[in-house]
Amino acid sequence: MRIDDFSKWLEVHTDLGTRAQSDAKSRCKRIEKYEGDLDQHFINDSMFDLLERFKYSRHDQEAGISLKHKIIIKGDEVNGTASLLNAANLYYKFCLASPPKK
């Protein structure tokens, strides 16, 4: 992950406040810890597979469907997964604007 460039992109290209930007960066780091380098995911398949793993609804939870990602979430799995998906989507948009080098 290109954290410095991502940080600058968040400041310039989003309406997020300082705290929300920090949260997004922390969540992206957490995703990388368990799922691998975000830039490599973008290079491999434009992050398609990774983003799909973070799609998890209340209906999925009620149906007993397990999380598709590897991240342990303490608390509400639906909201926690949605927060991770939001952060991953921000990194995806950053990669569209500034693609990683292969």
**pLDDT tens digits for range 31-85:** 999 999 999 999 999 999 999 999 999 999 999 999 999 999 999 999 999 999 9
- Domain extent listing, the chain: 3-97
Query: Can you give the three-state secondary structure of the chain, one letter per residue?
Result: CCHHHHHHHHHHHCCCCHHHHHHHHHHHHHHHHHHCCHHHHHHHHCCHHHHHHCCCCHHHHHCCCCCCCCCCCCCCHHHHHHHHHHHHHHHHHHHHHCCCCC
**pLDDT tens digits for range 22-44:** 999 999 999 999 999 999 999 99
What's the CA gap between 37 and 32, in Å, rounded?
5
Q: Within a 10 A sphere around the Cβ of 27, how many other Cβ atoms? A: 20
pTM of the model: 0.95
